[in-house]
Amino acid sequence: MIVNNFHVHCGNNYGTKKNVNESSIADYEAEKRVLKDEGVFVNKSLVFSQPRPYPFLSKYTDACTIDFGKKNDEIGKICANSKEYLFAVFVDARDYNAVKEIERSSIYNPRAIKVHISSHKTSPEVLADYGIIDAAIENDIPLLIHPNVDYFAELSTILLKHTKLKSIIPHFGFLNRDILSAAAKTNNIYLDTSAVIHNAFKQTVLDGYSRLSYEFFNIIQMPTTVTFLDYIKTNEFKDSQVKDNKYKDITFDYKYMIELAVKLVGSNKIFFGSDFNWSPLKEQINLISHSHISVKDKENIFSNNFNKLFN
């Protein structure tokens, strides 16, 4: 089986000075070798670094003090000498110099732009205001956007306005109705499967349900009305379980989630992403391969869509 991976963290990611999440191409290669011995060949991967020190987030105003250029250089140089790795330039959505960094990184032939608007409560409007969307369109490269739970509706509206932008929302858009609806309506908004087995995914979804009400997950009427509870396996779900952070008795029906996403959005709109090193590559692959979707759907998710997007 051939797999292309749309979501790979490499290099210094984020954390504090005492706890920095490091991942490397060498670590990723080790996981790939194990899979190859089992008959799974990971062919091409989109990789990026993501430096976002948490102590800085609450103090962020209008300009970043993190050396994004250095981190992009590290990954860009690796990808420039490889046929397997495609470089995604990382920029901070709040940085008014983001476009300059995208332009500077053009020497590495970036194939995508990665931007994160989640942890720091950033409105997606900055994607347009700071020229990030225009840069993606002008360079004809996709924009990989980690969404903010508080601004799903706003993000969907912005993406629907920019019909020339190819945007990918990772983590299945955290199952949000606005994101899934937007992806279903257009030919230029996609999803990736990254980290759906990670506990943080479940926590984000459950926290969102608790804070933003049931309607947040009452997704769309296509082909039938699907509710948030359809994603969960539990005899009894109560808001108190969420508010008290009692997640241990709640499990997601991940295979059903994949099957439903294919029905709602179409397998031609979903990319496989592992979110290495946050989620085990093998487990993420098994989730898709063991789901009850057609062979063609699996081929689309694992490789065809990636090949089509990047020619």
pLDDT digits (tens, 9 = 90+) for 172-183: 888 777 888 899
Q: Is there a domain that residue 206 lies in?
A: no
Q: Is position 237 within any domain? A: no
In the chain, the number of structural domains is 1
Is 60 exceeded by the pLDDT of residue 191?
Answer: yes
**Full domain range(s) for residue 56:** 2-201+255-310
Nearest-CA neighbor of 94 among 52, 133, 126, 69?
A: 126
**Residue 138 reports pLDDT greater than 70:** yes
Whether 131 maps to a domain, the answer reads yes
pLDDT band at residue 235 under the 50/70/90 scheme: very low
- 40-51 pLDDT, tens per residue? 999 999 999 876
Looking at the domain assignment, is residue 98 inside a domain? yes
Task: Flag whether 292 is in a domain.
Answer: yes
For residue 7, give the nearest of 39, 47, 62 by alpha carbon.
47
Mean pLDDT of 179-198: 88
Mean pLDDT over 218-239 rounds to 45
> What is the mean pLDDT of the segment spanning 216-232?
45
Predicted TM-score (pTM) of the model is 0.84
Residue 126 resides in a domain: yes
Q: Is the C-alpha dihedral spanning 123, 127, 128, 130 positive or negative? A: positive
Q: What is the CATH number of the domain that holds 186?
A: 3.20.20.140
